[in-house]
């Protein structure tokens, strides 16, 4: 059986967790949390990186930082994970969903421009599969209309747009360390602050609305409740685990990209691109091998292929029921423009197993099974 995902483990995780235990500091903002933030600040040149409990919580912090209130509108793709929308709905926002470009599965920027109104506060690009939205274009649009850009870079660690790491280009960026992501600590996240006017307030929101961080740095002589907030700090145990992954970020990413490339080559060799659509990486994007997906002709074929793979020991999965057609999406949002691609493409996409340490033989076996399905099994009726 080849599972869809196995969380990455580098070997150092337990040593670092033992070190954290020996230091008698297990709550947030100890030595390992500092090491993780420093990694982002020195390696990715982020102004300030705050380690959080999840990407979902980083997005919630962004909604507070953006002062989202009742009736404000935020623009995002409908083809995304629920957290992208939930974080803003929790603050009273109306979510304006826009269509995707079928080639990249990312938000169509022409539709973004059309969706902007006097109530729009922020645009939330999602870098699907770790592939970048066209960030120069998007930042120009945002600047022209005076809007915030909050990158949902949950899947995008180590990916770059024109040599800039994803998550470091918008005013704010959110990263996930959920076990299904390239680098993980079970559950965890980071808030990347690229516009320094948000730094002080973000520290307060993350510390339950108190100015405790300033107190620990000796900048105030007592700490107090000064803003709304919650407990968004990553525990030291998770930070210790995560640090082992961050210092191996290149190795993990390189390994995933190799397997991604192998899938891609094999599907070309089998001429499977006559039957299915293969992913396309935009030229401005340096990818991170987060996900290998293919697109079947339609939903029925996809269901049949998932079953065929399962019967042959391979777990593949589909992705995202579009948010605008879900019960809560209908209640708190609406689709701007025409749903030309979101529903159609979401019914065709199929994700194949891809994880750190996956063997080339597994990739070969899976590709061969997909090949057999198309050449010998598929019902063409
Ligand atoms: C995984 C993911 C999230 C949520 O991340 P968590 O760390 O699990 O909260 C949000 N958005 C996208 C696009 C994701 O893929």
State whether 295 and 184 are in the same domain.
Answer: no
- Reduce the DSSP state of residue 128 to 3 states and report it: helix
State whether 51 and 110 are in the same domain.
Answer: yes
- CATH number of domain containing 97: 3.40.640.10
Whether residue 195 is contained in a domain is answered as: yes
State whether 348 and 332 are in the same domain.
Answer: yes
Q: Note the pLDDT tens digit of each residue in 337-377.
A: 999 999 999 999 999 999 999 999 999 999 999 999 999 98
Place of tokens 């001429």: 271
Provide φ and ψ at 14, rounded to 5°. -70, -35
Note the pTM of the prediction, 2 decimals.
Answer: 0.97
CB under 8 Å to 52, separation ≥6 — which residues?
Answer: 58, 61, 188, 189, 190, 191, 206, 232, 233, 234
State whether 171 and 240 are in the same domain.
Answer: yes
State whether 121 and 210 are in the same domain.
Answer: yes
State whether 92 and 181 are in the same domain.
Answer: yes
Mutate to test the pocket of ligand 1, among 5, 51, 55 (most ligand atoms within 8 A of CB): 55
Comparing CA positions, the residue from 305, 291, 280, 268 lying closest to residue 358 is 291
State whether 240 and 290 are in the same domain.
Answer: no
Separation between Cα atoms, residue 86 and residue 63, nearest integer Å: 10
Amino acid 83: pLDDT: 98
Last residue of a domain, one of 246, 275, 310: 246
Give the start-end residues of each E strand in 291-348: 292-295, 333-335
State whether 157 and 219 are in the same domain.
Answer: yes
Last residue of a domain, one of 225, 246, 267: 246
Separation between Cα atoms, residue 61 and residue 354, nearest integer Å: 31
Mutate to test the pocket of ligand 1, among 51, 130, 178, 321 (most ligand atoms within 8 A of CB): 178
Whether residue 241 is contained in a domain is answered as: yes
Whether residue 7 is contained in a domain is answered as: no
Q: What is the DSSP string of 220-239?
A: SSS--B-S---B-BPPHHHH
Q: Name the strand (E) or helix (H) holding 45.
A: none
Based on the structure, what is the number of domains in the chain? 2
Residue 227, CA atoms < 13 Å, CB-side half-sphere: 20
Q: Note the pLDDT tens digit of each residue in 157-198.
A: 999 999 999 999 999 999 999 999 999 999 999 999 999 999
Q: Note the pLDDT tens digit of each residue in 75-131.
A: 999 999 999 999 999 999 999 999 999 999 999 999 999 999 999 999 999 999 999
Whether residue 70 is contained in a domain is answered as: yes
State whether 256 and 199 are in the same domain.
Answer: no
Give the number of the atom of ligand 1 that is nearest the alpha carbon of residue 181: 1
State whether 226 and 288 are in the same domain.
Answer: no
- CATH number of domain containing 290: 3.90.1150.10
Give the number of the atom of ligand 1 that is nearest the alpha carbon of residue 126: 13
Residue 128 beta carbon below 6 angstroms from any ligand 1 atom = no
Mean pLDDT, all residues of the chain:
97
Place of tokens 């063409």: 380
CB under 8 Å to 88, separation ≥6 — which residues?
Answer: 59, 63, 68, 74, 95, 122, 124
Residue nearest to atom 8 of ligand 1 (CA): 178
Amino acid 329: pLDDT: 97
Amino acid 380: pLDDT: 67
- Reduce the DSSP state of residue 120 to 3 states and report it: strand
Q: Are 289 and 354 in contact (CB under 8 A)?
A: yes
Which pair of tokens denotes residue 295? 């697109």
State whether 221 and 83 are in the same domain.
Answer: yes
Whether residue 231 is contained in a domain is answered as: yes
Q: 303: domain range? A: 249-380
Query: What is the band of 381 on the pLDDT scale with cuts at 50, 70, 90?
Result: low
CB under 8 Å to 17, separation ≥6 — which residues?
Answer: 237, 240, 241
CA distances from 254 to 237, 248, 258, 288 (A): 26, 10, 6, 8
Place of tokens 């993990």: 252
Above pLDDT 90, what percent of the chain? 94
State whether 260 and 323 are in the same domain.
Answer: yes
Q: Name the strand (E) or helix (H) holding 164.
A: strand 164-165
Residue 238 beta carbon below 6 angstroms from any ligand 1 atom = no
Residue 122, CA atoms < 13 Å, CB-side half-sphere: 31
Last residue of a domain, one of 218, 246, 274: 246
Whether residue 239 is contained in a domain is answered as: yes
Whether residue 174 is contained in a domain is answered as: yes
Residue nearest to atom 5 of ligand 1 (CA): 55
Whether residue 350 is contained in a domain is answered as: yes
């Amino acid at each position: 059986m080849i599972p869809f995902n196995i969380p990455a483990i580098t070997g150092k995780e337990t040593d670092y967790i033992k070190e954290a235990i020996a230091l008698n500091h297990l709550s947030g903002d100890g030595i390992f949390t500092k090491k993780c933030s420093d990694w982002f600040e020195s390696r990715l040149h982020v102004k300030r990186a705050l380690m959080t409990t999840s990407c979902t919580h980083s997005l919630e912090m962004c909604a507070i930082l953006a002062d989202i209130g009742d009736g404000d509108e935020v623009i995002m793709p409908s083809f995304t994970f629920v957290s992208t929308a939930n974080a803003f709905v929790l603050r009273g926002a109306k979510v304006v969903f826009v269509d995707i470009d079928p080639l990249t599965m990312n938000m169509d920027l022409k539709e973004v421009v059309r969706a902007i109104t006097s109530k729009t506060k922020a645009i939330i690009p999602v870098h699907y599969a770790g592939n970048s939205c066209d960030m120069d274009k998007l930042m120009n649009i945002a600047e022209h209309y005076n809007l915030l850009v909050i990158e949902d870079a949950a899947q995008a660690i180590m990916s770059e747009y024109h040599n800039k790491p994803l998550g470091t280009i918008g005013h704010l960026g959110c990263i996930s360390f959920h076990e299904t992501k390239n680098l993980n600590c079970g559950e965890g996240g980071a808030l990347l602050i690229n516009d320094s006017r948000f730094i002080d307030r973000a520290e307060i929101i993350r510390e339950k609305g108190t100015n405790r961080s300033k107190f620990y740095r000796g900048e105030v002589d007592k700490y107090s409740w000064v803003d709304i907030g919650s407990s968004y700090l990553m525990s030291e145990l998770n930070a210790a685990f995560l640090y082992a992954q961050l210092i191996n970020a290149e190795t993990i990413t390189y390994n995933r990209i190799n397997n991604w490339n192998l899938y891609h080559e094999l599907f070309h060799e089998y001429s499977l691109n006559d039957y299915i659509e293969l992913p396309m990486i935009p030229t401005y994007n340096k990818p991170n091998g987060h996900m290998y997906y293919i697109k079947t002709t339609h939903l029925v074929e996809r269901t049949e292929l998932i079953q065929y793979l399962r019967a042959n020991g391979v777990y593949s999965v589909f992705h995202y029921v579009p948010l605008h057609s879900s019960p809560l999406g209908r209640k708190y949002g609406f689709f701007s423009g025409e749903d030309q691609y979101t529903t159609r493409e979401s019914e065709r996409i199929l994700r194949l197993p891809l994880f750190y340490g996956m063997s080339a033989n597994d990739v070969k076996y899976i590709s061969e099974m997909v090949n057999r399905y198309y050449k010998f099994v598929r019902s063409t009726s």
